[in-house]
Amino acid sequence: MALSRVCWVRAALWGSAVPPGPYVTRRLQFVRSGLAWGAPRSSKLHLSPKTDVKSLISYVVTKTKVIQEKYHRFLGRHFPRFYVLYTIFMKGLQMLWADAKKARRIKTNMWKHNIKFHQLSYREMEHLRQFRRDVNKCLFLGILSIPPFANYLVFLLMYLFPRQLLIQHFWTPKQQIDFLDIYHKLRNQSHPEILSYLERVIPHISDAGLQWHMTELCTKMQCGTHPLKQDILALRECFSAHPLGMNQLHALQMRALSRAMLLTPYLPSVLLRHRLKTHTTVIHQLDQALAKLGIGQLTAREVKSACYLRGLNSTHIAEERCRTWLGEWLQISCSLKEAELSLLLHSVVLLSINYTGTRR
């Protein structure tokens, strides 16, 4: 048997016409059929895992967008008021997330290049300052949400008290105007108290010339006259030491100044003084960076925001008048030293109380 198979293979190789047996014929057919369709099948069914994952992700993203669009149309058609609040809330989350990423990039750059806060550009400094305040407000809501099922109560409080609990990203355009007016009225309530305190300290000023300048300034303020830059800078010595230096201010005056700066006055005197120093120092550093940049480089929104931070209710004042006022502020701020920042703190009242167009 073995000899016959060897002879047949040799004959097949040499072209012999001897027909193979039935067993060999079936085996050759099986091998040929396997060679015929085996290779193409493997090439057709082979898929890359990365391609499968990408196609799956794109499919999920597409379906999610379609479902989200249908949900938005449903809300807008059946619950229009809720849809407005929902849209504002979602946009607010997106803006807050974008602010967080920008703040992280700024902090990373500061850490890599050993840059201090006062060495940043104006827009970077302002972004970090505002983001810190927003985060502090959001942290308060996060603490309220810690107890079980307290998140439902937090949503209710956010709806009932949006001005106190929400940052500006989550305010409607009308709320932004109304709430800024409310905040300005609150700080306006402290202005008479601050001016009366300045009148009371006049006898405690040792220099007769400074007493005369302070009396003239208080008289102008009471008559509704907007003071000039020279009127304020002439009193810088009074605000660098006794009786109006930052370390000599009384507790009642610091509480009134805290309300004028939209800071909480319900803190011990030590914390009030520290917070006023820190806040005024940051504004002074912002002013120096803004002077380098130039007011002309700011957008209308940035100008109004800068004026509001420094005590002026800019929501109802024309842009050009805001730029003029901000220029006066910078001339005073950039002329002061660190020991004279108490004058910059009082300028929040002195420069804004009688400015044209601020009274409504």
CA distance 213 to 197: 15
CA distance 331 to 243: 24
Higher pLDDT, 76 or 120: 120
Q: How many CB atoms lie within 10 A of CB 229?
A: 14
pLDDT in tens, 150-170: 777 777 888 888 898 888 998
pLDDT in tens, 279-315: 999 999 999 999 999 999 999 999 999 999 999 999 9
pLDDT in tens, 309-337: 999 999 989 999 999 999 999 999 999 99
In the chain, % of residues over pLDDT 90: 55
CA distance 85 to 91: 10
- Do you find a cis peptide bond into 243, omega within 30 degrees of 0? yes
In degrees and rounded to multiples of 5, residue 298 shows phi and psi of -85, 145
pLDDT number for residue 289 = 96
As a whole number of angstroms, the longest Cα–Cα distance in the chain is: 137
DSSP assignment of 140-190 equals: HHHHHT-STTHHHHHHHHHHH-HHHHS-GGGS-HHHHHHHHHHHHHHHHTT
Q: Where are the alpha helices (DSSP H) in the chain?
A: 2-13, 22-45, 49-78, 80-113, 122-144, 150-160, 162-165, 173-188, 191-200, 208-222, 229-233, 251-260, 269-293, 300-309, 319-333, 341-350
pLDDT in tens, 173-212: 899 999 999 999 999 999 999 999 999 999 999 889 999 9
pLDDT number for residue 127 = 96
pLDDT exceeds cutoff 90 at 358: no
Mean pLDDT estimate for the chain = 83
Contact 226, 356 (CB under 8 A): yes
